[in-house]
Structure 1
């Protein structure tokens, strides 16, 4: 069990992958059990969008409606980690993310990220333009691991666009461990830039196995080092994150909203 301070600090995990993305190793059931073990309140399954080589079939996302909203007092959100693209995606209304219109009603939210098999890293100018196109798409709520050193960006321009479009910038715990080596100084500067603009972040594990869900120790350490305002961590509580998604026009049944409210009462 994690320490009380950590549990109370960030209660939502907005980024994790199941066996539906075949480079991950756990099921939804595994994630629920692990979330309960570590004291997490809300978990989100965000398997990869269709342009990723091992992404699930479209039916995976359409059938997430069969998932319960609450299991063992753990809230469950239905998401996707979409891919930022260099060309408009077919069936997306000319959006540069792989989110076809028919998929959107089944999703609680979407992360958009750069991935090397889908988007070849470019110049700062090109990477920044592509990320801002995703931010302005109207269908993305979070930009995933924007501190990736393989995709340098103009952080000031990206944060301005994110604030203008009510899109969160993600601080991704996995980036400080086995993924995206060299992310730490970039993420530190990003946090400082977000703070300078009085904007907001999400914090996630990017778990690819259930044992990592709800683990934010590296992300929390850099957040504390920067002195980032915890009121601007939208994933701090389920109520805060669900309210943010409602601002994007997302709707949730009364059971989930009442549960989130009770957690803070």
Structure 2
């Protein structure tokens, strides 16, 4: 399975990552990637960059070492209503918006509240990709999330970092395997992400690939096996933003 895109990477700007965008791009080039996202954490994460960081991303070159660079953010869900920690003026200008839950940014709640937060963030027309739903920090209805992903055509990430981090590995693998099977069932759009916080992890998908294969998800069903599919999806997402009416979609998210 050839992976050509890694949309989930972090630089020194995230505060707890340890490489520059140049170092990450060089690592991406050496792995044969053609596109790399630069998605540092949104401002509610301790150590995250000031909002001016995101305003100034236009200075990043379009390409480094032959790899297309797509500046964006990993925005944080901050409450059960799925609100993000990025003001609208920044969401409107960023090339890539990943969205996820982190314990230090979101207080947590019941399974129902956490699931609602995740799906409401997915309904946000500025959300491009939902990240690491399999992390064990929050109990969620993973089948309902996979169903919502398929209905809304918003990809869910299988996060390689969660599967390879010692503290999370066992619980994350169980959750990721479960949601991957639901993704296969409902034909939810799938993307793999390294969530690299150091340059040698950029483009590292080995554990994620093993897991999706176990779940019966084929390479052609994974978005980032094709540069063109990633670019086409993101372009279509931007065109469709004006037509998405979240309030009209919520009643369709129940599972029989």
Q: Does the pair score TM above 0.5?
A: yes
5+ long unaligned stretches in structure 1: 1-5, 89-94, 251-265
- Check the 8 A contact 2:26/2:64 in 1, yes or no: no
For the pair 1:29 / 2:17, whether they are aligned, the reply is no
Deviation, 1:235, is 1.3
For the pair 1:84 / 2:73, whether they are aligned, the reply is no
Deviation, 1:155, is 1.5
Give the corresponding residue for 2:188: 199
| Distance (whole Å) between structure 2 residues aligned to residue 104 and residue 114 of structure 1 | 17
2:3 aligned residue (6, 10, 15): 10
- Check the 8 A contact 2:55/2:90 in 1, yes or no: yes
| Distance (whole Å) between structure 2 residues aligned to residue 175 and residue 38 of structure 1 | 20
| Distance (whole Å) between structure 2 residues aligned to residue 168 and residue 87 of structure 1 | 20
| Distance (whole Å) between structure 2 residues aligned to residue 167 and residue 99 of structure 1 | 19
The DSSP-based 3-state class of the residue aligned with 2:113 is helix
Deviation, 1:83, is 0.5
For the pair 1:221 / 2:214, whether they are aligned, the reply is no
Give the corresponding residue for 2:253: none
For the pair 1:186 / 2:175, whether they are aligned, the reply is yes
For the pair 1:240 / 2:229, whether they are aligned, the reply is yes
The DSSP-based 3-state class of the residue aligned with 1:46 is strand
Q: What is the CA RMSD across the aligned residues, in angstroms?
A: 1.5
Give the corresponding residue for 1:134: 121
Deviation, 1:87, is 6.3
Give the corresponding residue for 2:245: none
Taking structure 1 as the reference length, the TM-score comes to 0.85
Taking structure 2 as the reference length, the TM-score comes to 0.88
2:155 aligned residue (168, 183, 191): 168
Instruction: Within 5 Å, give how 1:135-150 maps onto structure 2.
Output: 135-150=122-137
Deviation, 1:161, is 1.8
For the pair 1:60 / 2:53, whether they are aligned, the reply is yes
Give the corresponding residue for 2:247: none
Equivalent residue pairs, number: 237
| Distance (whole Å) between structure 2 residues aligned to residue 180 and residue 248 of structure 1 | 32
Deviation, 1:71, is 2.2
